[in-house]
Amino acid sequence: MLAGRARRARKAPTGARPRYLPGAVPGAGEPVSLTGEVRSVVVGGQQLRVAVRPGRVAAAGRPPLLLINGIGVSLEAFGPLLRELDPDVEVIMFDPPGIGGSARPRGPYRCTGLCRLIAGMLTELGYDQVDVLGISWGGGVAQHFAAFWQSRCRRLVLVATATGSLMVPARPSVLVHMVIPPRRQMQREHLYRVVGGVFGGSARQHPERVAEAMRDGDWLGSPLGYLYQLVAAAGWTSLPFLPAIRQPTLIMAGDDDPIIPLANARLMNLLMPRSRLHVYHGGHLGLATEAAELAPVVDAFLAAP
């Protein structure tokens, strides 16, 4: 197994055929100069849209960074963070099934199936090990991946996330908005009326920052893809296996996050033996709206000995 940067010219497994097509993919959205090379990767019959931003130079001893997004949004939503992350580090992003440029799955899927798909995607791309950052819904996926695909994950960053169905919940007035399709949430009249109370942080005074981060909804997935993501998380919880996650873990949480109350991050920090907690001043979307402040925290953690 590789320790560090993946081999660029990794030979495909015996009997395998090339499964990604370099170049533009329908719905790519953000210029390739930002997201890197956009590809279509097929894993187990499921087509995934993937973007890889190459590092400028080899980052000594560090594997690439895999980003797993929140519910209902495509990989372009990582743009603000990507602009602030260390350009020397290779970054991998993808659209989950049914979101952005990835094909709809044959039917609903569970977290275990998605993690198996991610592992297959990394193998197809030639990566044995990565660092993983997951935000919100993607943070749950990242926890599952780190626990059950331990050899593929060196370090873990969990942002604005919790332990799944067994967690300290948001207020009912906030939860009701989570069943509204994302495109409806991003409509201007709805956004400016409720966004501050839902996302917290700078969105309270500057709801336009959320619209800008989501490019007025251009980077949101289909209603069916959103529904499948909800199904994947239904009944799932990481509480039984959190103590078994042995990777060094950075937990990042906002002090004004109505969706994921701060108590959840404190609980995860208590249960994960090699974790540390960073509380930032902001809300649920701080990784996008305050990327310039938070990206250096991520970089420092991943670069630490």
Q: Tell me the mean pLDDT in the region 109-119.
A: 98
Would you state the CATH architecture of domain 33-303? 3-Layer(aba) Sandwich (3.40)
In 3D, which of 249, 266, 248 has the Cα closest to residue 257? 266
The catalytically annotated residue of 136, 202, 238, 275 is 136
Assess whether 136 carries a catalytic annotation: yes
Residues 176-229 have pLDDT tens digits of 777 666 666 666 666 677 878 888 998 888 887 777 766 544 556 678 898 999
Lowest-confidence region among 18-27, 86-95, 105-114, 280-289: 18-27
**Structure-token pair, residue 202:** 């700078």
Q: State the pLDDT at residue 265.
A: 98
* Full-model pTM: 0.86
Residue 62: band (very low, low, confident or very high) from pLDDT cuts 50, 70, 90: confident
Residue 244: band (very low, low, confident or very high) from pLDDT cuts 50, 70, 90: very high
Q: Tell me the mean pLDDT in the region 289-302.
A: 96
Q: Tell me the mean pLDDT in the region 122-135.
A: 97
Residue 149: band (very low, low, confident or very high) from pLDDT cuts 50, 70, 90: very high
Domain boundaries, the chain: 33-303
Give the separation between CA 248 and CA 275, rounded to whole angstroms: 6
Give the separation between CA 286 and CA 159, rounded to whole angstroms: 9
Q: State the pLDDT at residue 246.
A: 96
